[in-house]
A and B are shown apart, each in its own frame.
Chain A
Amino acid sequence: MSDQQLLEIVKNALIKSPWVSHLNCGSCNGCDIEILAVLTPRYDVERFGIKLKGSPRHADVLLCTGSVTRSMAPRLKRIYNQMADPKFVVAVGSCATNWGVFHNCYNTLGGIDKVVPVAMYIPGCPPRPEAIVFGVYKLLLKLASLDLEKQEEKDSVSNLTQEPIRSEEVTT
């Protein structure tokens, strides 16, 4: 099998069934319970092949909630480094996007993108489950349009972060 074929398979697998992992970096829990609601029968993202994994090593997408606390920042970085390429980070919630309500708190650093590159922002406090589904769907669209051949040369992540996609039309 040629490299090109292999890459195609990887890409297809990624779009058809992205595995996500979830990390609480200092959130209020609001976004976390909404992420869980996305899994349960009413919203049921598993029908799109999205599966939640406990370990970031198995995941393609990391869903981060909360503004990063000073204690979690080094850990977030580590967990990010443990994920296999290609990998994407989704910032769920206003405080993960842009510090939000915690901007006065001394032990927080700011949005997730202060620490790791973010591919996708889902604002809302908390975003509705529909918004989270929509956000992940937008990410998949973006992935589908990737040219993996070039992608290998360029860094897939930095490429994505240059033009972040926002799904605010859902929440506003």
Chain B
Amino acid sequence: MKISMEEIKKEVKTMESRELSDQTPVLRVEPNRLLEEMRKLYDLGLTHLSTIIALQVDNKIQIDYPLSSPLNKKLAPAIFVETIVSMDKPKISTIEDIYPSAVTYEREVTDLLGVEFIGADHRDKLLLPDDFPDNLYPLRKDYTGKELQQKLDELGVGYNPTIPLKEEEDYVMAVGPQHPTHKEPIRFKFTVEGEDIKNVELRLGFNHRGIEKALEQGTWIKNLYLIERICGICSSAHQLAYVLTAEKVDKILDQVPDRAQWLRVLVSELERIHSHILWYGVLAHDGGYDYMFHITWRDREDVMDLLEMWTGNRVNYAMMTIGGVRRDIDENLRKKMIIKLKKLRKNISKHKEVMEKEKTFLARIKNVGYLSKEDAIRFGAVGPTARASNINFDLRKDVPYAAYKEIPFKVYYRSEGDVYATMAVRLDEALESVEMCLYVLENLPTGDIAIKVKTRLQEGEAHTRVEAPRGEDIHYILSDGKNAPYRHKVRAPTLANITSLMYRFKNMQVADIPMIIRSIDPCIGCMERVTFVDAKTGKTKEISGQELISKANRRYRLNEKIKIFEV
């Protein structure tokens, strides 16, 4: 029996319940009952924790947990569980036992707002630099962004080239140009026994810039351009989530013209195509299949041309604005786009044919990095990663936004759960996106492309989840009626997929590392240096990402054993 939202509300002991401006129910629970209620909600089917949103309200810290269900369609729209803790020594129990993916989100909240999670193991910094002062929490309202910047400069954070970089943690750089799909350099520390991986540890934040704080100083319009630069690859997904949320806050969502909503879909789908081609091209490269890498990237230039013809830029298109889109399509352009899209369809079908049949390549990706359906749910995987593990969930279908309700498309999912499945899902999705673009171009409604909006939004609170190329991307905005948001929280899809990624390494071999990391399409700088720890002797050794890839390729081609530690 699938339970509905009303029944859920009855089950939970709330202090009070309210709604966001977008009618999302918020259940406020007492801090000491949080664990109990969360467990109950998990058992009722709300298994997906999107992120943890924390913010300072007056002298309190408000913590929200957006929950939803990937399996029960009735519960696909999110519901917020909220709790409030005091500002001095804020403490709340950890929910990592129920939602393992909460670990990264909780560490983020600890870093940025100084909330302590009771029951969690000792946790290092996740996002902030090692020499960041201990009792300074950037997202509290003690300092404005400018003051914070001055203070950090006075303290010399980051200026001191001789800070004792921790032994194995130093020297991380985004892997060379062959891996530029990475948003931020990331560091993995693998514990190995011979060639088998025993354990993985992770450090993020080399690319933490502090955008959320900066958004509080911008204006609603200025923020449009900072938001899309969170990530240059999914820029329009972030922008779309932002404008939809802002429109919900301002209660003008239903006035946005149809044509604008359709054009929003068009730019999102074009972006998805370019992002997916980019991904499987780099996957081929990582698997030692450089020929395919060059072929796919050659064909990808067609999408880039399409985007450029319409938006004027190849990356960061600046298409969305609050109340509509910024550029229209005329008849001439429409015809040109259709011709190019048809060519693209032919090319992608060819990629599909080759990549799904090439035996040597398949040997590298089949049965590698397996993630079962249960684990994908438990670890909160999103997007193509989840769909490759047999979860039929796509926000475009299940919580439709923009014009997705009116456009026919199919959601692809597969049951294999390995790296191969993540590739096959993306290939199918790229083809489907081409069809969607063609449908949009052929059925585009007429009318305006934007409405006028005021430069200040109303007071209110809203959130939006959109299906970015890599999965669910959630934005949350609290507006206090000024010309900038009071709090704007962004959670990009890669962070959600990290937890399941760590799990995929279990019982795999060193040679599989590059392919597995690629499987989630990390929008993070990969490992230029990977640290290995010998499980028996405790010895550590670093090798570069490039070296690792070439070792892995030799392992498969020549059956050469990988020796990290001399015996």
- Residues of A whose CB lies within 8 Å of any CB of B are 20-24, 26-37, 39-42, 52-56, 63, 66-75, 77-79, 95, 101-102, 104-109, 125-126, 128
* Contact indicator B185/A24 (Cβ below 8 Å): yes
Q: How far is the CB of A159 from chain B (nearest CB, A)?
A: 23
Q: A73-B161, A79-B171, A107-B158 are in contact. List 19 more A-B contacts (CB 8 A).
A: A20-B177, A21-B177, A28-B229, A30-B316, A36-B181, A39-B178, A41-B294, A54-B544, A63-B177, A70-B129, A72-B185, A74-B160, A77-B161, A79-B173, A102-B214, A106-B210, A108-B210, A125-B316, A126-B315
Alpha-carbon gap, A55 to B177, bound state (A)? 10
Stretch at the interface among B75-83, B145-153, B359-367, B413-421: B145-153
Q: Nearest CB to that of B180 among chain A residues?
A: A32
Judge whether B158 and A24 touch: CB under 8 Å: no
Interface size class of B (residues with CB under 8 A): 35 or more
The listed residue (B178, B213, B546) touching A106 by CB distance below 8 A is: B213
Question: Contact at A29–B158, with CB atoms within 8 Å?
Answer: no
Q: Once the chains are docked, how many angstroms separate the CA of A8 from the CA of B230?
A: 45
B232 engages A29 (CB within 8 Å): yes
Greatest chain A CB density within 10 A among B128, B129, B218, B523 is at: B129
A29 in contact with B181 (CB, 8 Å): yes
Best-buried of B171, B172, B214 by chain A (most CB within 10 Å): B214
A residues in contact with B232, CB < 8 Å? 27-33, 126
| Segment from B41-49, B297-305, B349-357, B384-392 that makes contact with A | B297-305
Q: Known contacts A36-B180, A41-B294, A101-B225; decide if A54 and B528 are in contact (CB<8 Å).
A: yes
Q: Can you report 16 residue pairs joining A to B where beta carbons are below 8 Å apart?
A: A24-B180, A24-B207, A33-B233, A36-B178, A40-B297, A41-B297, A54-B175, A70-B132, A71-B130, A71-B208, A75-B165, A79-B173, A104-B213, A105-B214, A107-B152, A125-B229
Task: Give residues 149-195 of B contacting A (CB, 8 Å).
Answer: 149, 152, 157-163, 165, 170-178, 180-185
**How far, in angstroms, from A34 to B304 measured CA to CA in the complex?**
11
Contacts of B171 in A (CB 8 A): 75, 78-79
Instruction: Say yes or no: A71 contacts B210, CB within 8 Å.
Output: no
CB distance from A50 to the nearest CB of B (A): 10
B278 at the interface (CB under 8 A from A): yes
- The smallest beta-carbon distance between B175 and chain A, in angstroms, is 7
A91 to B424, CA, bound (A): 37
Which residues of B have CB within 8 Å of A33? 180-181, 232-233, 278, 315
> What is the distance, in angstroms, from A97's C-beta to the closest C-beta of chain B?
14
A75/B180 in contact, CB under 8 A? no
Q: Which residues of B contact A56 (CB under 8 A)?
A: 173
Task: Tell which of A24, A74, A126 touches B316, judged by Cβ atoms closer than 8 Å.
Answer: A126
CB distance A70 to B177 under 8 Å?
no
Per-position 1/0 for B290-328, Cβ under 8 A of A: 000110011011001000000000111000000000000
Complex CA distance for A58 and B127, rounded to whole angstroms:
30
Contact A40 B294 (CB under 8 A): yes
Among A32, A66, A73, A95, find the residue whose CB has the most chain B CB atoms closer than 10 A.
A32
Whether A106 contacts B148 in the complex (CB less than 8 A), given A30-B316, A54-B176, A54-B178, comes out as: yes
The reply to whether B214 and A104 form a contact with Cβ atoms under 8 Å apart is yes
Q: Which residues of chain B have C-beta atoms less than 8 A from A41's C-beta?
A: 294, 297-298
Interface membership of B104, Cβ < 8 A: no
Closest to A54 in B: B546
Q: Is B206 an interface residue (CB 8 A)?
A: yes
**Which B residues lie within 8 Å of A104 (CB)?**
145-146, 213-214, 217-218, 226
A53–B173 CA distance with the chains assembled, in angstroms: 13
As a 0/1 sequence over residues 201 to 237 of chain B, the CB contacts with chain A under 8 angstroms (1 = contact) are 0000111111101100110000001100111110100
**Complex alpha-carbon distance, A69 and B174, angstroms:** 13
User: Is B369 interfacial (CB-CB < 8 Å)?
Assistant: no
A40 to B274, CA, bound (A): 14
- Asked if A29 contacts B294 (CB within 8 A), the reply is no
